[in-house]
Structure 1
C-alpha cells in the first residue's frame, strides 16, 4: 500500500501554506515530517487525513484518488500533541473502543488492550477515567487507541511533546518497532532533529510550506542537498560563514587555510561554509583548519557536554564541546573548524561539497 501526494498545494486567504509537494509513502515505513513551527507539517497531515482539501494536486491511496474523500470514510487514525479521549469512558474502554466498533471478540479485545497498556505503561490506570490521569498518561491513552485502531494510515502530530523525558525516550525507541510490525503507513511530525534521527525511517524536511528533501533519515541528515535542508536538520542552529576560494587558499576574513582535498578543483568564487555544533572545536586541530578568534557569550553545561555560544567577526556560533567547559562571558578564546568536515554551499545555497564524514 502506498500514499501518494501528487503536486499538493494549499492556499489560505492568498497565503501559500503548502507549495507543490510530491511524496510517496510506503506501508510499514515510518515517515517523519521535520520542520520548524509553521513549516507546513500539520497542514500536510490534515490533507493526508481528508480533513482539508488541497487547493491543487491529488492524494492517492493505493492508486485510488481519495482527494476530497472525508476522513470518516478513510482508514485513518490521528494523535495530536493535545490529547483527545472520551471523558465518560474508562481508560480500558477508550482503548477498546476502536476494536468494539469493528466487532472484535471480547477475549481478543482484553488481550490486545492489556498488551498495548503494558507497552505504554498504562496497566495500573485501566479502570480510571481520563480526567483522573496526568497529561502524559492521557496522551499515552490517545496513542494506545490510535495503535489499536489498526488503521492503514496513522498520523502523529508531535505526540510525545507532553510526556516526561524518560517515557519519551522509551517510546522513541519502541515506536519504530511497533510501526514496522503494524504494516500501516505512519507519519510522525516533529520540530526536533534529534527525534527524527532517533526514530529513523524516512524523513521529509519542510521549510515555509516547501518540501526540501525526502529520503532515509540518516541520508538526509548526512547528505543534505542544500543549505535550507541542513539548517532544518541542525539543532543547535547551523553555523555558517562566508568564505572565498582563490587558487589553493580558502579564506575567512583575515584567516585562511589550504583549499585541499575536495575543494582543490572547485571554481574560484565565494561560498558559504556550514558546520554543525559538533564540527566546531574549542581545541586545536591540525594545520589545515580555519582558526576563528572569538568571544564567549555564554556556556551551557549539560553534563558530559557543553554548548558554548561565541561571537566572531559579527557571526554567532555554537560549539558542542566534550566535558565541562566553564567559560565566562566576554572571555577571549579561539575556535577551529576543519573545512574537510564541513558543508560547502554555492551562491544559490546548493551543496557544492559534502563533509568527508558524509561520504563514508
Structure 2
C-alpha cells in the first residue's frame, strides 16, 4: 500500500505552509522530513492525519481518496513533540486506552500492551504512574500507545526535540533499533526533525522541506553527499555548510588574500558567480595555515565550534575536542579543499567531491 500525495497546498494566510507538495510513501519504509522550524513539517503530518485540510491537492492511500476519509477512520497514529499521556492512568492503561475505545477483549489488550511495552523497553513499568517516569520514559509510553494501535501510518513529529542531549542520543539509538527490528514491515513510518545528524543516523528516505516546498528527495547518504542547492546544503548540515564567495580561475581558488590550488573536480570550472562550500568538519587547525580571528568559541559536548572571520569572510569550524579560545584570538587554519563544493549564481549545485552536479 502506498501513500501518495499530489500538489498539496495549504496557505492559511500570506505564507505557504505547504506549496505543491508531492510524495510517494511505500509501506515498510522509513521517511524522514528534514526542515527548519516553520518549514511545514507539522502541517504535512497533520494533513496526513486528517487534522488539517489542504486548500488543494490530493492524497491517496490504498487506492482510496484519503482526504474524504474521516479522522477517526484513518489508520494513523501520531507521536507529538510534547509528552501526551493521561496523568490519572498508569503506564499499562495509558497504552491500553485506544484499545479499550475499540472494545477489544481484555486478554487481547493485555497481550498487545505487553508486546508494545517490550518494543519500547518498558517491561516492568506497567503499574507506574506517569509522574514517576523520566521525560524519555514518558515519550516511550506515547510511542508504545501509537504502536499498540497497529496503525498502517505512524507519524512522529520531532519526538526527541524536548529532551536533553544525552537522552536524545539514547532514544535515537532505541528508535533506530526499533525501526530495524521489522516493526515497519507493513507500516509507513514518517519522522520529522530539524536535526541533520538525526536524519543521517536514522538513514531512511529523506524529504528536505523549506517554506512549505520540497527541495530534494533521496536517500540520506545522497542528500548529505550531493545537496542539490545552497539551501539544502544549509539545512542538511549542522552547523550549516560554510559558503565562501571566491574567484575560480586558472585552476586556483582565491578569496581574501588566500590562494589554493583547485581540486580536480573544481579545476575546470570558470568563475561565473560561483560559491565554494565547505563543511565545518572539513576545516582544521594548522600552524602553517591561514590566519583568522576568533569571533566566538562554543563548547558542545566534546566538540568545540569556532566562529572565525578574515576580512569579509566568516566561517565556522568544528574540532572534536574541548579547546579554550578567546574572542579576538588569532589562529591558523587550513582547508580540506578536496572536499569542497561549488554552487552557481542560481544557488544550484555545480560540482561536489562525490561526483554530483546539476549540469
TM-score after normalising by structure 1: 0.90
Cα distance in structure 2, aligned partners of 1:189 and 1:129: 29
- Matching residue of 1:281: 284
Deviation at 1:160, TM superposition (A): 1.8
Alignment equivalent of 1:214, drawn from 217, 220, 242: 217
Separation of aligned partners in 2, 1:335 and 1:154: 46
- Contact 2:30–2:205 (8 Å) recurs in 1: yes
Q: Deviations over 1:81-129 (max 9, x none)?
A: 1122233432101112333445555444333323432443434432234
- Alpha-carbon distance in 1 for matches of 2:76, 2:261: 56
Residue 248, structure 1, aligned to residue 251, structure 2: yes
The answer to whether the 8 A contact 1:30-1:176 is kept is no
Partner of 2:62: 62
| 1:296 aligned residue (294, 297, 308) | 294
Distance 1:51 1:200, change over 3 A: same
8 Å CA contact 1:2, 1:26 repeated in 2 = yes
2:118 & 2:167 partners in 1: Cα distance? 13
Distance 1:104 1:86 in 2: 20
* Aligned residue number for residue 239 of structure 2: 236
Aligned position for 1:22? 22
Aligned to 2:46: 46
CA contact (8 A) 1:53 1:68 kept: no
2-structure distance, mates of 1:258, 1:161: 42
Query: Within the alignment, does 1:149 sit opposite 2:149 as a pair?
Result: yes
Instruction: Give the 3-state SS of the residue equivalent to 1:154 in structure 2.
Output: strand
CA offsets 1:145-191 (integer angstroms, 9 cap, x no match): 00111101111111122334444333322324433423210111111
- Identify unmatched segments of 5+ residues in structure 1: 286-290
Provide Cα deviations, 1:271-298, integer angstroms capped at 9, x if missing partner: 111111101111268xxxxx64310123
Q: Describe the SS at the equivalent of 2:19.
A: strand
Q: How does 1:96-135 map to 2 (within 5 A)?
A: 96-102=96-102, 104-135=104-135
Note if 1:201 corresponds to 2:212.
Answer: no
State how far apart, in whole Å, the 2-side matches of 1:168 and 1:118 are: 20
Q: Give SS of 1:12's match.
A: coil
User: Cα gap change, 1:90/1:41 in structure 2, threshold over 3 Å: closer, same or farther?
Assistant: same
Alignment of 1:159-178 (within 5 A): 159-178=159-178
Task: Please report how far the alpha carbon of residue 54 of structure 1 lies from its aligned counterpart in structure 2 after TM superposition.
Answer: 1.1
1:198-251 alpha-carbon deviations (Å, 9 max, x no partner): 111111111111111111112111111111111001111221110112233221
Partner of 1:327: 325
The answer on whether the counterparts of 1:292 and 1:312 sit within 8 Å (CA) in structure 2 is no
TM-score by length of 2: 0.90
In the other structure, the counterpart of 1:140 is 140
Query: Are the equivalent residues in 1 in contact too, given 2:247–2:254 (CA < 8 A)?
Result: yes
- 1:356, 1:220 → 2: CA distance? 11
Point out where structure 2 has 5 or more consecutive residues left out of the alignment. none
Bigger mean CA offset, 37-46 vs 266-275: 266-275
CA contact (8 A) 2:3 2:61 kept: yes
Q: Which residue of 1 aligns with 2:336?
A: 338
Summarize the Cα distance change of 1:249–1:144 in structure 2 as closer, same or farther, 3 Å threshold: same
The whole-number CA distance in structure 1 between the counterparts of 2:95 and 2:315 is 47
**1:89 equivalent in structure 2:** 89
Contact 1:200 1:218 in 2 (8 A): yes
What is the DSSP-based 3-state SS (H/G/I as helix, E as strand, rest coil) of the residue aligned with 2:216? strand
RMSD of Structure 2 on Structure 1 (CA): 2.3
Contact between 1:304 and 1:322, CA under 8 Å: does it hold in 2? Answer: yes
Distance 1:254 1:27 in 2: 54
Contact kept? 2:256, 2:312, Cα under 8 Å: no
Are the structure 2 counterparts of residues 175 and 303 from structure 1 closer, same or farther at C-alpha, using a change threshold of 3 Å? closer
- 2:183 is matched with 181
Q: Which moved further from structure 2: 202-211 or 158-167?
A: 158-167
CA distance, structure 1, for counterparts of residue 85 and residue 263 of structure 2? 59
Residues 1:78 and 1:326: Cα distance change in structure 2 (over 3 Å): same
